[in-house]
Amino acid sequence: MARHSQHLKPESWLVAAGRTIEAGAPLNVPPIPASNFLIGQGRSYARNDATPTWEAVEEIVGGLEGGRAVAFASGMAAIAAVFDQLPAGAQVVLPDDCYQGVTGLAMAGEARGRWSVRRLALTDTEGWQQACAVADLVWLESPSNPLLVVADLPAICAAPRKPGTIVAVDNTFATSLNQQPLEFGATLSIQSATKFIGGHSDLLAGVVTTRDEQLWHDLRRSRELTGATPGAFEAFLAARGARTLALRLERAQHNAMELAQRLSHHPLVSCVRYPGLPTHPTHAIACRVLKGFGTIISFDLRGDATFADAVCRNVSLIRHATSLGAVESTMERRAAIAGQEHLPPTLLRLSVGIEDVDDLWADLDGAIRRAAQ
């Protein structure tokens, strides 16, 4: 793989990292669908030793995050590998607003007696600082999904912790360009590469990054033993998608801010959640912690779930679909998702893409007004 100066800016690193340097080698690391390699050159079996395609993704993301990365078959595979590091009877602390996949995995483990789970509001900074001193896994998600609460990560990650405590941050919504949790003192930074890294809704992958050398080896060992390895083509697509992350994020964040401001004045919208708005409860923390406010907006409609579902059906440029972080804008009613029933029934989560912002607004505003007729 290529070696680069530590002085490269993130935008340059995204383009330059994860490439070969040998004369005559392909400029881009190709998809290598090999399960085994000729013995004698340090690599024999892909599940144990990885492939150059996986390593390209790991170099790109690891360099952005300031650590060493391990790539997995999906975001949930990466998350499961983190939980796999816990001892029997561990104490786990989760945010009250959290991705339902993490909640489901944590609760299933608690039901089997593997660990105990406690929930905390992300705004309870003192509570999280105290949790670092007693818990085995402190799991943070900032901004959170889907309420977009921004935690005071510098204060929490700097808190004293008992030996062996893992402070993990799901960095998917922020991306490595807006936030580097390891710089704050987190043990791990996790991203679903399915989202912003890939950026085109065409792959499943996950990445965990750490500065703890032993933990890095343990995570690779978990990947090896569980077989949670990324596919060759998926890894290739993730590396290719990462090249344009900075451009995509810049455009989509601009669109998101504009749409959030327009939605905040819409007569049929009762609440807009976007960290870039001064009205957001954690706006002050976001201004201090984040380099950008992201591309996700959550907003509540005035009406009921039937009205909100009709809005989702009425959009055309915006796609009525789940997931986020891609070039296309997507929207869904989150309380309709299993495990999210506790959310406001009219809350729509909008992942803003790179389309023309006026076209997006015409589609969204038109869908709301048609549903109200």
Note the pLDDT tens digit of each residue in 140-193: 999 999 999 999 999 999 999 999 999 999 999 999 999 999 999 999 999 999
Which of 182, 214, 242 corresponds to the end of one domain?
A: 242
Q: Quote the mean pLDDT of the chain.
A: 96
When pLDDT is averaged across residues 79-90 and rounded to a whole number, the result is 98
Q: Is 347 helix (H, G, I), strand (E, B) or coil?
A: strand
Return the active site residues: 47, 99, 170, 195
Q: Where are the beta strands (DSSP E) in the chain?
A: 68-72, 90-95, 115-120, 137-141, 166-170, 188-192, 206-210, 269-273, 296-301, 319-320, 330-333, 347-351
Strands 319-320 and 330-333: parallel
pTM of the model: 0.96
Backbone φ and ψ for 196, nearest 5 degrees, come out as -70, -35
Which of 213, 242, 271 corresponds to the end of one domain?
A: 242
Among residues of the chain, what percentage have pLDDT more than 70? 98
Angstrom distance (rounded) from CA 229 to CA 221:
11
Query: Domain of 328: which CATH number?
Result: 3.90.1150.10
Which of 242, 267, 287 corresponds to the end of one domain?
A: 242
Question: Is residue 143 located within the same domain as residue 18?
Answer: yes
Question: Is residue 103 located within the same domain as residue 141?
Answer: yes
Helix axis angle, 213-226 relative to 75-83, nearest 10°? Answer: 110
4 in any annotated domain: no
Question: Is residue 160 located within the same domain as residue 44?
Answer: yes
Question: Is residue 203 located within the same domain as residue 72?
Answer: yes
Question: Is residue 25 located within the same domain as residue 132?
Answer: yes
Question: Is residue 290 located within the same domain as residue 328?
Answer: yes
Total of domains in the chain? 2
When pLDDT is averaged across residues 199-222 and rounded to a whole number, the result is 98
Reported as type and span, the H/E element at residue 367 is helix 357-372
Question: Is residue 226 located within the same domain as residue 249?
Answer: no
Q: How far is CA 334 from CA 251, 271, 294, in A?
A: 25, 15, 18
Q: Is 41 helix (H, G, I), strand (E, B) or coil?
A: coil
123 in any annotated domain: yes
Question: Is residue 225 located within the same domain as residue 325?
Answer: no
Question: Is residue 67 located within the same domain as residue 161?
Answer: yes
Question: Is residue 83 located within the same domain as residue 119?
Answer: yes
When pLDDT is averaged across residues 22-38 and rounded to a whole number, the result is 94
When pLDDT is averaged across residues 7-25 and rounded to a whole number, the result is 93
Question: What confidence tens digit (pLDDT) does each residue in 86-145 have?
Answer: 999 999 999 999 999 999 999 999 999 999 999 999 999 999 999 999 999 999 999 999
Residue-range definition of the domain harbouring residue 232: 10-242
Angstrom distance (rounded) from CA 79 to CA 319:
27
365 in any annotated domain: yes
Longest dimension (CA), the chain: 71
Question: Is residue 177 located within the same domain as residue 304?
Answer: no
| Neighbour count for residue 81 (Cβ, 10 Å) | 24
- pLDDT at position 2 is 46
When pLDDT is averaged across residues 309-314 and rounded to a whole number, the result is 98
Residue 5 has pLDDT above 50, yes or no: no
Angstrom distance (rounded) from CA 83 to CA 126:
24
> Tokens at residue 260, please?
């959030």
Query: Domain of 81: which CATH number?
Result: 3.40.640.10
215 in any annotated domain: yes
341 in any annotated domain: yes
When pLDDT is averaged across residues 216-224 and rounded to a whole number, the result is 98
Q: What is the DSSP letter of 138?
A: E
> Tokens at residue 171, please?
């960095």
Question: Is residue 116 located within the same domain as residue 183?
Answer: yes
| Neighbour count for residue 66 (Cβ, 10 Å) | 15
Q: Is 16 helix (H, G, I), strand (E, B) or coil?
A: helix
When pLDDT is averaged across residues 213-217 and rounded to a whole number, the result is 98
3 in any annotated domain: no
1 in any annotated domain: no
